[in-house]
Amino acid sequence: MSKTQRNYKASKIKMFFFFLLLALIFWFLTKFSNKSAATVDVYLAYTNVPEAVMVSQNNLNEVSFNISATGFQFLSYKLKEPTIYLDISEKYTKGDSAIVYSSVELIKVISDQLDNNALIQNISPSELKVELDLLSSKKVPVTLDADISFRDGYRLLKPLVVVPDSIRVTGPSKALNELNSVTTKLLAKKNVAEDIDERITINQPSNVEINLSANQVEIKGEVEEFTQKKLTIPIDIINLPEEVNIKLIPKEVIITFEVAMSNFNTVSTSNFRIVCDYSLSSEMENYMVPKLVAQPEGVHHIEFEPKRVEYLIFK
């Protein structure tokens, strides 16, 4: 076969495919330009909700209907399901717990947002009731969920501080009546030997309709090394009749406690008070039980000896 014949044959094949493509395009345009009827589903989105209420989660989020439209329109609907926006503020009146859209109102809203030339029929449901929940708000405490262990000899000077210690929650009144606090996610730390300063997320309540004024809180705590200290504390006698003189044996106790290194020299005997209450003693017994009634902040694991003291009465 000569080169001329081969070129002629290739040209005929190209012409064939060109006219075939042209025919397909013509068929496609003709087919999709014609109107036909089909069922279409659309999403519902509720907008411009007044501040005093919120749309209940139980409401429908989709409606379906028959529509007469061109193939091009149907193709766009199938590629991306349309969303119809319902403006709640247009129908809401203060105090409403629900608003209702009739089929006529729904068809008008859909037609305005899709295509005024499309014929919409047989909408389902024929009537749309939108339930509204009355909103209220209150402050609730933030509860810290923590699992913290310290290096040997270290501990917190004071309890951990949560900032803020409470937040405002907003949501349906019924849901808020059942909510008394919110909890943080777990703060887990091990072998801690330095100050704690962490930001941690608050768990969303199980009812997702509840909104939080803050999603995180700050956790602060001073950590120090502690050491043991001993002091000798005199015992005070209380409720002793004027005519009675007694002698305690011993007349003081040795108190042992743990204190932060930075406060070691500031804690003294004057910070503690141990008493024996004579009115609690019995004539059958010749001892009293010392009781710790005053102590400074920041001391831990307090113990003292002896646990009871004998006494002699002088009349």
Q: Coil, strand or helix: which one is 31?
A: helix
**Has residue 18 got a pLDDT over 60?**
no
Read off the pLDDT band of 32 (50, 70, 90).
very low
Q: Of the spans 10-19, 60-69, 188-197, which averages the highest pLDDT? A: 188-197
Residue pair 36/188 in contact by the 8 Å Cβ criterion:
no
Pairing of strands 216-221, 161-163: antiparallel
Between residues 41 and 12, the one the model is more confident about: 41
Highest-pLDDT range among 11-25, 55-69, 133-147: 133-147
Closest CA to 235 of 166, 304, 313, 143: 304
Q: In the chain, what percentage of residues exceed pLDDT 70?
A: 82
pLDDT in tens, 248-303: 899 999 999 999 999 999 999 999 999 999 888 876 778 899 999 999 988 999 99
Q: What is the pLDDT of residues 71-113, one digit of tens each?
A: 555 555 565 677 889 999 998 988 888 999 998 898 888 888 8
Judged by DSSP in three states, 200 sits in: strand
- On the question of pLDDT at 7 being above 70, the answer is no
Task: Give the helix/strand (H/E) hosting 187.
Answer: strand 187-192
